[in-house]
Structure 1
């Protein structure tokens, strides 16, 4: 056997992980590839371009996974005179066939989303742990198949959603009395329904960011060969955190009740494998002069969107800033208090404390100051009907679907691409149906395209799986 190709070799592990995420792994001999010279046939530009277009249609894959798979073009190590172009075409044909199968699966999954056809299960409960004091789920973050769960008592659990088992935990990560209000009056964030504990969570590339009432964001990850979540970094924010976002490259964006939006940049690691980050520093700080209740980032357009709460007679404003230099690109007042925000499908969608939803259109081609198509008098469109309680969580899914979670006990699924019908319904977004039964502690609504994950169920995490038919359907 020849030596592994110097270009393809390092990518094989990533490709195999990508393939395994399809639930029906593609049976290709990619891992058997060995290139006897750096000029591997798979590195031809024409093939890389073909594969890039091919795997780009795998809608549930992350962009970096698509890129990695596009680069891994290979033929097996052979000493005979087999025409490499014939093997190239054979591999491409296999990939195209699998692509078509995945496209069909995606279409069927989207249809089930629109019809509300799913299987539902409580996949994890905190109080199933013997001898542990009663605790309640307050926030959830997801990076399938893992989820990070933050509790009322300030603990964080890393859970495998496939097995419903705890992978690692740190029950005392945020040691603040859950019944204490903390640094500021949190009623601007929770109203009369403050459940205590974790206020914000995010998860990316195995790193978990969590915040509680102590004005600190803690970054953790699973310790190697351990069931412990070890602390990787501490960000001294100095205020109650309403939003935390993890970016590619290690940066962290925080929104806090003292009116600040900050971008924290990773300065250095000890050695790259160390558990402890040497230093984070504030690379950008914005003062909005009102409590920041929500924030979202569009990494492609390089923008931050932040929503503020009502203060001293001034309605909550939404802002769009340049992620790099903090330039103010746009501001508007969609609600009395802008409680939630999400970016996707060429729109910024905001949720209000009054139950309303508004959508502001973006230019899908632009970036930064060129990302918008509005003029000075452009208004955000209303999505109707309203929720009957504060809209506390928003998420986007492919095919124009929006998810909104509110304190009226529902999570709604909207079709933002629905055309207006004869009764005038649709056009700017049509409510398809609502999932009911959530409690006033709902704070997280997440999707990976196939599944909907949420809290708001006391000590449990609820998953609706749209990749499977309902029983009897």
Structure 2
């Protein structure tokens, strides 16, 4: 508690109630939640220190002219990519926050992904374009045609042999990425017949909002759609081997209509331990065991739609981005929020871990791309698992 100033006492009335300290008259003191969460009382000086730590732990890498819809961190370099509603992709050096390249698109950039070797960037846009870019030059390798619906999600397999895209018309298509890279020299491909290894897993259906390859098995693809279904695909056989739905797994009595918008799957992540995380419009995150197709956890902590989820590289932590303007870091196995990151103004659309797992990249409605030092942000609690 702050030391008393007897000379000022007649001019103040201090209210201490429910952890709130505020001036009711005279000179303003402070307003804050003074509980440290462990029963400690936090002094104004300590609150200043915490605010300073929070400020130094988060950096604004840069900004777009409109909402940032997707971010990705390259594993072998400090390169960050961000895709925006302003129809551009920007490549940033996260060490100096400088724009390395700015790439133009026909429509908003809904998703993007680096290949695991860091040699290419794949971007998907609302106009239906899928572009392959060579790095670090950012030269266009190919534009993949034949996509009738807007591209909602893109993914590459761990071995960089397969590229998959999910579309607004429900289509899921795959290509032999390694063959495309070896057969093109920077020219846009004219027709779908020119695409090596082109295949369709799903022709039409509910909008595909998210797709993700298994980080170990390059033949296993997971998709999440507007109807609330998570589908497991055998890419080689072009077969849907299993379908997971929240309505079939939750407790009896919950709404189970496939038309229920709250069940929409908006984001997916798969870790090497064989678990799927799905973010939903009902503000929940569900954890599924891939081996037995069982729902193992339902994480609740956000107030609005969960727009994106991402596992840390070792699979132990989960980051979630929400329309409630926050990012949460979870110990998902304990169903516990380790920390909540505040800073974006408006919806947070995308999150991505660095390869080391100690930095998180985010993008949102405010048009900013931010970098969070998880070692120091929120008093170091983000990594206290």
- Could you tell me the TM-score, scaled by structure 2's length? 0.69
Greater shift after overlay, 349-358 or 242-251? 242-251
Within 5 Å, give how 1:230-379 maps onto structure 2. 230-236=139-145, 237-247=147-157, 248-266=159-177, 268=179, 274-276=185-187, 279-281=194-196, 282-287=198-203, 289-301=205-217, 302-310=219-227, 316-334=228-246, 336-344=263-271, 345-362=273-290, 372-374=291-293, 379=294
Q: Distance in 1 between matches of 2:287 and 2:135?
A: 38
1:198 aligned to which of 109, 117, 138 = 109
1:234-280 alpha-carbon deviations (Å, 9 max, x no partner)? 11222111110123334311011111111112374687794347653
The structural deviation recorded for 1:386 is 4.0
| Structure 2 SS opposite 1:446 | strand
Q: Which residue of 2 aligns with 1:129?
A: none
Greater shift after overlay, 260-269 or 448-457? 260-269
| Structure 2 SS opposite 1:231 | strand
The structural deviation recorded for 1:457 is 5.7
Contact 2:156–2:213 at 8 Å: present in 1 too? Answer: no
Q: Which residue of 1 aligns with 2:127?
A: 214
Q: Distance in 2 between matches of 1:330 and 1:399?
A: 23
Q: Distance in 1 between matches of 2:380 and 2:150?
A: 47
The structural deviation recorded for 1:120 is 1.2
Q: Alpha carbon RMSD of aligned pairs, Å? A: 2.9
Q: Distance in 1 between matches of 2:268 and 2:310?
A: 8
The structural deviation recorded for 1:384 is 3.3
Quickly say closer, same or farther: Cα 1:466–1:242, change in 2 above 3 A.
same
Q: Which residue of 2 aligns with 1:120?
A: 58
Q: Distance in 2 between matches of 1:150 and 1:166?
A: 13
Q: Distance in 2 between matches of 1:469 and 1:332?
A: 36
The structural deviation recorded for 1:388 is 1.6
1:85-139 alpha-carbon deviations (Å, 9 max, x no partner)? xxxxxxxxxxxxxxxxxxxxxxxxxxxxxxx99811112234xxxxxxx444332
Contact 2:71–2:350 at 8 Å: present in 1 too? Answer: yes
Contact 1:139–1:199 at 8 Å: present in 2 too? Answer: yes
| Structure 2 SS opposite 1:444 | strand
Quickly say closer, same or farther: Cα 1:160–1:260, change in 2 above 3 A.
same
Q: Distance in 2 between matches of 1:117 and 1:286?
A: 46
Contact 1:412–1:435 at 8 Å: present in 2 too? Answer: yes
Unaligned 5+ residue runs, structure 2?
1-53, 248-262
Q: Which residue of 2 aligns with 1:151?
A: 84
Name the structure with the higher helix share.
1
Q: Distance in 2 between matches of 1:198 and 1:409?
A: 21
Q: Which residue of 2 aligns with 1:430?
A: 336
Give the number of aligned pairs. Answer: 297
Higher relative contact order, structure no. (Cα contacts within 8 Å, ≥ 6 residues apart): 2
